[in-house]
Chains A and B, each alone.
Chain A
């Protein structure tokens, strides 16, 4: 038994690598879904109870309570679900932008250099600055933040997809398809899209952690969501006032929870990438 690698021993020894990857994705997705749905069902206007304000973590309030006596665990979950929602919106919009631009780049040389120029332009502006500007221009709030994050995060995916589409376009099967009399649109839809679909999917999921992090930071800086929406960024920036008074739990647990959610999305993205990798498709 000892010559088996570690991942083929113990509890999950009967599963193969593919099943294990699927299991990881399913469990992680379930956890995120539970956070998201339970957060959605929580009413944002939590009852305030000043008799239990500023309590450190206990079994009754595992994340402690804030200066208005609100339970920090419930606020954190609510904040996380808000972050996840913004992350979903932003990453879907940014991958749509990336896909469209990548296909536009494949039309002709002029379009290609235009898209490359656009990529360079957006890549040269610091993300956080761009997000702040777009967010303010669109009137802050959830909509502003989603748009801001979406319009600053399409760059990397576009670069990857553009290269991928270029490579597929020079392949022999695309050249042959043209000789069979198929149109460019048909080739884009039938040949190229199925080949880049997995890239788009993984790209969307890998934008997610960035989107959540940037949403929190821009909210923390005061350019994002408004204070009555209990996003993680708001919670963190409010806790700054009380941190000096020793209320460490106000920042520690929400921050940790945010980190965990980001990591969960990263795990899903990485596992999906492994699953979709064509060289390992038959494992």
Chain B
């Protein structure tokens, strides 16, 4: 499968344009890294690809087809701050099951302890919460994952561990990954190919 963004232009207000004629293609058996400076519009692009922002020009297609807005969205975004993506009044079990119910082996693979499931989101650390976010995103219906700086709150060793598990799972299930970061060393290690945001953004 192929996730394509064609000639995407976007601006939050009239004064400053963020994206201009931006085109990008991700294949589902590859891991593409996208590197750019802070504030360059990486997160905005991620939100457009994952269907969070809709008032852009240009189009995002999956295998040449527009992605329907109803139902489970096949392009899932993993946010930089996991604590903001969880309802503070929900137990972690409900948070996890909102997307799907991952089998026990998968929970073990990502180092999710069973006792965390009965906790509130504010009782777990950022790294623990991010494991939940990743597990939520790898729903069987997911075709692509947009990882927007998902490992910035982790130490180097844990970063690599989590990325390795995510990549293994993605390769096995034919899920494409777009890894967005401003950390060249990390992208160097995990990605098949690295794109530079400013070079493909025609501003």
With contacts A179-B76, A181-B71 taken as known, whether A173 is within 8 angstroms of B52 at the C-beta atoms is no
With contacts A177-B98, A179-B51 taken as known, whether A278 is within 8 angstroms of B72 at the C-beta atoms is no
Task: Select the residue from A177, A181, A194, A282 with max chain B CB neighbours within 10 A.
Answer: A181
Contacts of B88 in A (CB 8 A): 195, 278
Number of interface residues of B (CB under 8 A): 23
Partner of A173, one of B50, B73, B76, B84: B84
A180 within 8 A of B: yes
Residue of B nearest to A171 (CB): B84
With contacts A171-B84, A172-B84, A173-B84 taken as known, whether A179 is within 8 angstroms of B77 at the C-beta atoms is yes
Question: Contact: B89 with A195, CB < 8 Å?
Answer: yes
B197 within 8 A of A: no
Question: Contact: A172 with B70, CB < 8 Å?
Answer: no
Question: Contact: A179 with B50, CB < 8 Å?
Answer: yes
Number of interface residues of A (CB under 8 A): 15
Contacts of A278 in B (CB 8 A): 88-89
Tell me the residues in window 82-127 of chain B with beta carbons closer than 8 Å to chain A beta carbons.
84-90, 98-99, 122
Question: Contact: B70 with A176, CB < 8 Å?
Answer: no
Question: Contact: B85 with A181, CB < 8 Å?
Answer: no
Interface string of A176-194 (1 = CB under 8 A from B): 1101111000000001001
**How distant is B47 from chain A, measured CB to nearest CB, in Å?**
9
Question: Contact: A181 with B98, CB < 8 Å?
Answer: no
A-B contact pairs, 18 of them (CB 8 A): A171-B84, A172-B85, A173-B84, A173-B85, A173-B87, A175-B52, A179-B50, A179-B52, A179-B72, A179-B73, A179-B76, A180-B73, A180-B99, A181-B72, A191-B87, A194-B89, A278-B88, A278-B89
Which residues of chain B have a CB within 8 Å of any CB of chain A? 50-52, 70-73, 76-77, 79, 81, 84-90, 98-99, 122, 136, 139
Which residues of chain A have a CB within 8 Å of any CB of chain B? 171-173, 175-177, 179-182, 191, 194-195, 278, 282
